[in-house]
Amino acid sequence: MFKKVLVMILAGGQGERLYPLTKDRAKPAVPFGGIYRIIDFPLSNCINSGLRKICVLTQYKSYSLDRHLRIEWNIFNNELDEFIENIPPQKRISDMWYQGTADAVYQNIYVLERERPEKVLILAGDHIYKMDYRELIEFHETNNADLTVPCIEVPIKEASRFGVMSIDNEQQVIEFNEKPASPKPIQSNPEMALVSMGIYLFNTQVLVKRVIEDTKRDTIHDFGKNIIPSMINKDRVFAFIFRDKNNKAVKYWRDIGTIDAYWETNMDLVQVDPIFNLYDENWPIRTYHEQFPPAKTVFSELFPGGRCGTVLDSLVSNGCIISGARVERSILSSNVRIDNYSEVFDSILMAGVRIGKNVKIRKAIIDKSVIVPDGKHIGYNLEADAKQFIISEKGVVVAHKEMPLL
Amino acid sequence: MKTILLVEDDTNQLLLYKQELSLEGYSIITAQDGQEAVKKVKEHTPDLIVMDINMPKINGIEALGKILSEHKKVPIIINTAYSSYKDNFMSWSADAYIIKSSDLKELKDKIKELIGKIK
């Protein structure tokens, strides 16, 4: 039954709210957790769920993403009818770019026509979570649904960022409002709301009918805003609640929409008992590793004023050398060097970053290949930092890729 | 007077349709392949399109997509000798699918119905 499911990953958004991490790359290609790219998470979910027909719909700044997919995800066997296709706008139906999520699917009707899948699983390229899509597909089939929308419960004050839904006792969706000003709580708890995870499992024929109808309307051609609300009263739309089967707890799911969400989600990885576990052997997350020697710490001069290479509560990727410096609660991508007497706290350093001597960095994101000169302080005086860097709402300082600081 | 774009590569059929539909009181413009159809829609913005599928250059299915991308509300009737295109997802974006017949009643009724909806 899983062979008849085609996956479409929407990777075409501009990712403006994640600027400057999206300055040179599409959002799904933004590095995450030291060695991954964000898109590795939904793709790994596909592989682990046995779904091996995947189209990635790209648009803006797709080079980095394309390259990553080509190098790392070239693991599918065409002879077994498996594939991963990177599809930019073909301008086959329209001369326009993708006008919205639903339009991206409409413009690729030819792909659906060629593949003729029974079902289409539409995923976002910018979510961090682990989901066995087989459970979702089984739920969809059991309920004889036309559309199934995975969802989670979130505190009501956060709900207006999402598609908020109401369901009946059978989990059929009876109301769906995208980003409502005043979200409706769930019946059993006025403090919580049921929100869409932005993932959709459609029966193909229904999907095609609804996106065609939508293309003829003056809408923004968005699944959450237009397609799903239009389906509530005429199709069988169900909510699949994303909970742990054993303890019924809400499972981990994060939408990497903003710099703050990006930083916080990374920081979820460094906790002693992380709420998102990368070390689960039953659910491996694949990625592409450039070859580097093992990470190294040097100098163990334990006397006062001595040089001491110390790393605590952090993820350190291959090729890193922490030389007489101190790193705490941070994530270091490959090939990062940190020199004597420097301190890096609560920060994300991406591949190839060089930190000089006596540098102090706190609550910052340093993008690829930035060279931080000796004595530089980042994150200690936000007013001064604001002249040079982008600073998020919650005070995360961001140095963009290859930013000259010397 | 409402304008209909007739897209049909067979000259004899085109003349027949043109004559019959003119008698119904429509102004008729014509195209003989998909590419010409796309061009004519741009030039004349017709009120309705009757489209054959099997045509040279670009076929009716592909022309349908191109036309809808710019004129998303123009009603389109597929008028073909083949029923097999009914399964083609893109053909679903037409407002009606009619199998060609020597009796044009079905086509005329459908045109009347769709044009009646236009404000």
d(CA A34, CA A280): 17
> Average pLDDT for residues B6-25, to the nearest whole number?
94
* Whether pLDDT at B102 is above 70: yes
> To which residue do tokens 């530089």 refer?
A376
Chain A residue with Cα closest to B87: A113
φ/ψ of A376, rounded to 5, equals -70, 140
Residue B86 contacts by C-beta under 8 Å, 6 or more apart in sequence? Answer: B97
d(CA A396, CA A366): 10
Residue B89 forms part of a structural domain: yes
The dihedral over CA atoms of A265, A266, A268, A274, expressed in degrees to the nearest 10, equals 130
How many angstroms separate the CA of residue B52 from the nearest CA in chain A? 18
Interface of B with A (CB under 8 A): 62, 65-66, 68-70, 72-73, 88-90, 92-93
DSSP alpha helix (H) spans, A125-199: 133-142
CA-based end-to-end distance of chain B: 13
CB contact under 8 A, B89 and A96: no
Residue B8 forms part of a structural domain: no
> Average pLDDT for residues A92-104, to the nearest whole number?
80
The pLDDT value given to residue A12:
82
How many angstroms separate the CA of residue B23 from the nearest CA in chain A? 30
Computed over every residue of chain B, the mean pLDDT equals 92
Pairing of strands A253-255, A127-129: antiparallel
**A43 in Cβ contact with A73 (< 8 Å):** yes
- Residues spanned by the domain of B72: 63-101
- As a whole-number percent, the residues of chain A with pLDDT over 90 amount to 78
d(CA A368, CA A243): 36
Please report the residues numbered 108 through 167 in chain A whose beta carbons come closer than 8 angstroms to any beta carbon of chain B: 109-110, 112-113
Chain A residue with Cα closest to B68: A216
Strands, E, within A102-218: which ranges?
119-124, 127-129, 147-155, 163-167, 173-178, 192-196, 200-203
The phi-psi region of residue A144 (left if phi > 0; otherwise alpha if psi is between -120 and 50; otherwise beta) is left
How many angstroms separate the CA of residue A216 from the nearest CA in chain B? 5
Closest CA to A337 of A297, A389, A379: A297
Q: In which band, very low, low, confident or very high, does the pLDDT at B117 lie, cut at 50, 70 and 90?
A: confident
The pLDDT value given to residue A64:
85
Pairwise pLDDT comparison (B108 vs A63), residue with the higher score = B108
Pairing of strands A321-323, A337-338: parallel
Structure tokens at A230: 């239009």
d(CA A205, CA A348): 44
d(CA A274, CA A293): 26
The pLDDT value given to residue A35:
96
How many angstroms separate the CA of residue A178 from the nearest CA in chain B? 25
Computed over every residue of chain A, the mean pLDDT equals 93
Residue B109 forms part of a structural domain: no
Residue B27 forms part of a structural domain: no
Residue A48 contacts by C-beta under 8 Å, 6 or more apart in sequence? Answer: A130, A132, A283, A284
CB contact under 8 A, B89 and A109: yes
Q: In which band, very low, low, confident or very high, does the pLDDT at A50 lie, cut at 50, 70 and 90?
A: very high
Closest CA to A335 of A292, A289, A398: A292
Closest CA to B90 of B67, B109, B116: B67
* A282-300 residue pLDDT tens: 999 999 888 999 999 999 9
CB contact under 8 A, B90 and A109: yes
* Whether pLDDT at A210 is above 90: yes
- As a whole-number percent, the residues of chain A with pLDDT over 70 amount to 98
Residue A4 contacts by C-beta under 8 Å, 6 or more apart in sequence? Answer: A117, A118, A119
* Whether pLDDT at B118 is above 80: no
* Domains present along chain A, CATH in parentheses: 2-267 (3.90.550.10), 296-399 (2.160.10.10)
Q: In which band, very low, low, confident or very high, does the pLDDT at A195 lie, cut at 50, 70 and 90?
A: very high
- As a whole-number percent, the residues of chain B with pLDDT over 70 amount to 98
Cα-only R_g, chain A? 23
* Whether pLDDT at B119 is above 70: no
**A193 in Cβ contact with A183 (< 8 Å):** yes
- Candidates B65, B73, B92; nearest CB to A93: B65
For residue A95, the chain B residues in CB contact (below 8 A) are: 69-70
Structure tokens at A81: 């009818």
* Whether pLDDT at A364 is above 70: yes
The pLDDT value given to residue A1:
60
**A108 in Cβ contact with A238 (< 8 Å):** no
> To which residue do tokens 């339009």 refer?
A103
Number of domains in chain B: 1
> Average pLDDT for residues A181-188, to the nearest whole number?
92
For residue A209, the chain B residues in CB contact (below 8 A) are: 92
* Residue A388: count of CB within 10 angstroms of its CB: 12
* Whether pLDDT at B60 is above 80: yes
CB contact under 8 A, A215 and B92: no
CB contact under 8 A, A95 and B69: yes
**Whole-structure pTM value:** 0.92
- Candidates A93, A209, A217; nearest CB to B69: A93
Of the listed ranges A88-102, A301-315, A374-388, B1-15, the one predicted with least confidence? A88-102
